[in-house]
Amino acid sequence: MLLAPIALAVALLAEPSESPADALLIASPALPQAPIAALSTTPAALPRAPIAALPATAVVLPVTPPPAVPDLERALPVSLYVAAQPLSGQVLAAEAAPAANSVIIEVASGDTLMALLTREGVSRQDAHDAVAALEAVFSARDLRPGQELRLTFDEPEEVMAAAGEEPGQPSLLALALQPSVDADVQVVRSEDGSFSAAEQERPLRMELQGAAGVIDDSLFAAADSAGVPIPALIELIRIFSFDVDFQREIQPGDSFEVLYEAYYDGTGALAKTGKILFAGLTLSGKPLELYNFTPSSGFEDFFDLTGQSVRKALMKTPIDGARLSSNFGMRKHPILGYNKMHKGVDFAAPTGTPIYAAGDGIIEMAGWNSGYGKYVRIKHNSTYKTAYAHMSKIAKGIGKGTRVSQGEIIGYVGTTGQSTGPHLHYEVHMDGKPVNPLGIKLPAGEKLAGTDLANFLAAAAEIDKLRRTAVTPQVAEKVE
């Protein structure tokens, strides 16, 4: 039995708009930069590397929030992240007004902003005007369950007669909410009774963090135990999904390493994770090391030290931590009881485990499909299509005609349709015919050369320096 991996990391301070890619420009001015993805989760407490090992401009700030237990379906959407809301001067002035009072309400499933406001006693006219003002900076249709609204009221006796409100109704003075991890939105009532809205950026502090550990069961479980936030963990799995069969190739005693950006708010809470700079796996003693780089083509990707892109036309396995429960080919159907061609492979996994799009493409079908249950089919190009069946639910926004990116979550494992237990049934169709997903040979991605290769090797060398200060690999120990 192997000890659980221990998370180790380092903090690197930067301005809110700065990315580690900016820091790498010091050593390699020709390197292009790429936007940072916004994701949300709760951080684990990670030890810091010595300050002497960091660049001269770096300042280490102690951040020790507690680790969180991940919920595979609820932890992923960034819209569910809610933090304490700093209030603008206008809102504070409204709250300081005579007889003013505030309440905090939480958005429930099926709620609309109009319904929430009127339920709290706001007149329909005030509610309509406040929602109309809010539309200038945030659409009320984008409210999500779990978000919080802060409402500030004037007491009934202070209601302006000119407002035309019913006697006894409170007058809404201000409304505040946090629609994303790096923005606050506020609606404030003016002296003439009208409402105006404004959006305010929330400053975030960026730190580089790293983790390494030994895999006992799955990459997901090992990285989670090492304190890697869920969004960074999902991206780590996606990176390796092009080359690694997670069910057959990962063995106990293999190891991983990751270096990623983490963004913290003013309270020290992790607001989001940014890009992964380095991802490493050691499988049966063979290292697979990948570095983030954007070549002159402008497409950010991960490359090995030969300059070969990790990207393939399709992932080998669009799910992590699953057990191969049924292979491709003829078999006795577990429900129908007779021999029948099994047109794909089955991966047994807990209900709610995320399922990823195996490649870029357009959704051809998303919905109920007879014995397949909840089903999604993606057309990737004129040659390849992939299909995913028996889902517990299809991800929000996934429908016919939707364009999806490789590694994007399209649904969650379930047992709908003709199924004897929770699993993903995965099919690959080539030129209209089903083929074995685990046996097809896929074309490789971009290969760097010339100036691109030279710039990439310089960037990789800088990332390696950061790795030495950010990550101390954990050595596997056996427990008798």
pLDDT at residue 450, rounded to an integer? 94
Segment 220-226 long-range contacts (CB within 8 Å, at least 24 positions apart): 220/320, 220/321, 221/321, 222/5, 222/256, 223/256, 223/258, 224/70, 225/4, 225/5, 225/7, 226/5, 226/6, 226/7, 226/474
Residue 421 pLDDT: 87
pLDDT of residue 359: 86
Higher pLDDT, 376 or 183: 376
Task: Establish how many alpha carbons lie within 13 A of residue 129's alpha carbon, considering only the half-sphere containing its beta carbon.
Answer: 19
Average pLDDT over residues 446-474: 85
Per-residue model confidence (pLDDT) at position 360: 86
Residue 357: pLDDT band (50, 70, 90) is: very high
Highest mean pLDDT of the ranges 118-132, 200-214, 357-371, 458-472: 357-371
Examine the pLDDT at 73 and tell me if it is beyond 60: no
Residue 317 has pLDDT above 90, yes or no: no
Residues 6 or more apart whose Cβ sits within 8 Å of residue 296: 32, 451, 452
As given in the structure block, the two tokens for residue 237 are 């799995």
CA distance 175 to 186: 6
Model pTM above 0.95:
no
Label residue 194 exposed, middle or buried (CB < 10 Å: 0-12, 13-18, 19+).
Answer: exposed
The total number of residues written for the chain in this structure: 480
Q: Identify the pLDDT of residue 340.
A: 66
Q: Residue 310 has what pLDDT?
A: 86
Query: Would you say 209 and 41 are in contact if contact means Cβ atoms under 8 Å apart?
Result: no
189-247 confidence digits (pLDDT tens): 888 888 888 887 778 888 899 999 999 888 888 888 898 998 898 888 888 877 787 76
385 or 198: which carries more pLDDT confidence?
Answer: 385
pLDDT band at 439 (very low <50, low <70, confident <90, very high): confident
| Least confident residue range of 18-32, 170-184, 462-476 | 18-32
Written as six digits, the tokens of 216 are 């006992």
Structure confidence at residue 448 (pLDDT) = 92
Spatial separation of the C-alpha atoms in residues 392 and 414, rounded to whole Å = 4
Q: pLDDT-based confidence at 443, cuts 50/70/90?
A: low
- 45 pLDDT exceeds 50? no
Q: Per-residue pLDDT tens for 166-185?
A: 555 668 888 888 877 777 88
Contact 310, 317 (CB under 8 A): no
pLDDT of residue 452: 94
Question: By percentage, how much of the chain surpasses pLDDT 70?
Answer: 69
Q: What is the pLDDT of residues 233-283, one digit of tens each?
A: 888 888 887 778 776 778 889 999 999 999 888 788 888 889 999 999 999
Helix H, strand E, coil C: the string for the chain is CECCCCCCCCCCCECCCCCHHHHHCCCCCCCCCCCCCCCCCCCCCCCCCCHHHCCCCCCCCCCCCCCCCCCCCCCCCHHHCCCCCCCCHHHHHHHHCCCCEEEEEECCCCCCHHHHHHHCCCCHHHHHHHHHHHCCCCCHHHCCCCCEEEEEEECHHHCCHHHCCCCCCCEEEEEEEEEECCEEEEEEECCCCCEEEEEEECCCEEEEEEEEEECCCCHHHHHHHCCCCHHHHHHHHHHHCCCCCCCCCCCCCCEEEEEEEEEECCCCCEEEEEEEEEEEEEECCEEEEEEEECCCCCCCEEECCCCEECCECCCCCCCCCCEEEECCEEEECCCCCCEEEECCEEEECCCCCEEECCCCEEEEEEEECHHHCEEEEEECCCCEEEEEEEEEEECCCCCCCCEECCCCEEEEEECCCCCCCCEEEEEEEECCEEECCCCCCCCECCECCHHHHHHHHHHHHHHHHHHHHHCCCCCCCECC
Does the pLDDT at position 287 exceed 90? yes
Of the candidate ranges 58-62, 350-354, 370-374, the one whose mean pLDDT is the lowest: 58-62
* pLDDT of 473 over the 60 cut: no
Asked whether the predicted pLDDT for residue 286 surpasses 80, the reply is yes
CB 349 within 8 A of CB 322: yes
Band (pLDDT 50/70/90 cuts) for residue 463 is: very high
Q: What would the pLDDT profile of 318-346 be if each residue is shown by its tens digit?
A: 887 666 767 766 655 555 555 667 788 88
Closest CA to 163 of 124, 115, 200, 221: 124
% of the chain surpassing 90 pLDDT: 24
Q: Is the pLDDT of residue 376 over 50?
A: yes
Query: Over the chain, what is the mean pLDDT?
Result: 74
